[in-house]
Amino acid sequence: MNLIITTSVYRSQAKVAARIFSSSSVASTKNWRVSKGLSVNKNAEGILTDGPDYTFLDGRPTPLLHKQKLRMLKQQGHASRIVELISELDFAKDRYQKIQRENEAEKHRIISSRLKPKGNALLKNK
């Protein structure tokens, strides 16, 4: 009976030690990758992920992999959205400047349509 108790205690201590060791190494690996400017997931990018699985000996290009196609489509979507937002910003800037010019023109029109001095006051201004 004593033997059973000691083995169960030993197994529980080994599990705890293994858990502590594995989580700390994962955390330190993650921090190291982030500090070096790499992605957190080492399988997300790299020569093994981005490169072709095979090459043709005659130099023909290899077809894109499934994840490469998805990544390319995602990047195209981001690029088209960026272009769309930039065109909206340019339109908003132009519209704002046009409204400002119209306000200035309206002020000048109001000022120029005011009553003008006549008689002696007009001769004094010249």
Tens digit of each residue's pLDDT (9 = 90 or more) over 22-42: 555 666 777 888 888 877 777
Place of tokens 């519209």: 95
Under-50 pLDDT residues of the chain: 1-3, 5-7, 9, 16-18
Domain boundaries, the chain: 84-112
Q: Structure tokens of 29?
A: 């690996």
- Predicted pLDDT of residue 126: 64
- Predicted pLDDT of residue 37: 81
- Predicted pLDDT of residue 119: 76
Threshold 0.85, pTM exceeds? no
Task: Please answer whether residues 62 and 55 qualify as being in contact, where contact means their C-beta atoms are separated by less than 8 angstroms.
Answer: yes
